[in-house]
C-alpha cells in the first residue's frame, strides 16, 4: 500500500507550476488504469511522482533535485551526447549531476540504457526550445563585466 502525502503533492504541484511545465493531476484512487500502470512501472518509487508517456520520471525527491540543479525542463528530453572519443550517443536524458555525469535511456546503440561519466563528455546537444538564451546572455554579460572590472585595476 502506498502512503499518500498531501504536503509532498502540494510541493510537487508548486514546482511544476513555477517552472511552467504542463501537467495533469491523476488520482490513483479514482482511476483504475492509472493505478494499474503505477503498480506495474513504479519500481518502488513513492508517491507523488511525475509520469510522462507511460514512463516514471521521478518522485518528489528526484524532481526537487533536478530543480535545484536547474535541470527540471531538460529531464526526459531527447539529447545527443558527443564524447571526447568522437562517439555520439542519442537517447533520452534521465539525470545529470554537477559533474556532468549523465544517465541516458532508450539509446540508439546496442546498449539501451547507460551511465556516462562527465569527464568523457565533450558536448551535450539539447533541443533549442530547452535552452534559455536570455539566462545565458545575462550570465555572459555578468562575466564580461567582471572581467572588464579586473582589467581596469
Residues 36 and 64 in one domain: yes
pLDDT in tens, 100-132: 888 898 888 888 899 999 999 999 888 877 777
Residues 149 and 85 in one domain: yes
- Strands (DSSP E) contained in 33-138 are 49-52, 55-59, 77-83, 88-96, 102-105, 114-116, 121-125
Say which CATH number the domain at 30 has: 3.40.30
Residues 113 and 144 in one domain: yes
Would you say the pTM of this structure is higher than 0.95?
no
Residue 1 clears pLDDT 50, i.e. is over it: no
Name the pLDDT band for 2 (thresholds 50, 70, 90).
Answer: very low
Residues 152 and 79 in one domain: yes
Please calculate the CA angle 78-60-132 and round it to the nearest 5 degrees: 40
Residues 100 and 145 in one domain: yes
Any domain includes 38: yes
Range of the domain at 115: 74-153
Per-residue pLDDT averaged across 7-29, rounded? 76
Amino acid at each position: 500500500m502506498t502512503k499518500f502525502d498531501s504536503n509532498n503533492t502540494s510541493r510537487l504541484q508548486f514546482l511544476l507550476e513555477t517552472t511552467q511545465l504542463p501537467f495533469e493531476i491523476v488520482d490513483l484512487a479514482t482511476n483504475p488504469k492509472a493505478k494499474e500502470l503505477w503498480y506495474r512501472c513504479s519500481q518502488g518509487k513513492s508517491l507523488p511522482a511525475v509520469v510522462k508517456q507511460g514512463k516514471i520520471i521521478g518522485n518528489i525527491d528526484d524532481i526537487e533535485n533536478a530543480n535545484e540543479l536547474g535541470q527540471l525542463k531538460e529531464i526526459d528530453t531527447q539529447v545527443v551526447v558527443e564524447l571526447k572519443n568522437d562517439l555520439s550517443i542519442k537517447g533520452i536524458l534521465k539525470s545529470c549531476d554537477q559533474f556532468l555525469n549523465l544517465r541516458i535511456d532508450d539509446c540508439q546503440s546496442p546498449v539501451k540504457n547507460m551511465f556516462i561519466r562527465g569527464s568523457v563528455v565533450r558536448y551535450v546537444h539539447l533541443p533549442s526550445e530547452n535552452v534559455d538564451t536570455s539566462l545565458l546572455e545575462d550570465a555572459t554579460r555578468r562575466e564580461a563585466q567582471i572581467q572588464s572590472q579586473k582589467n581596469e585595476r
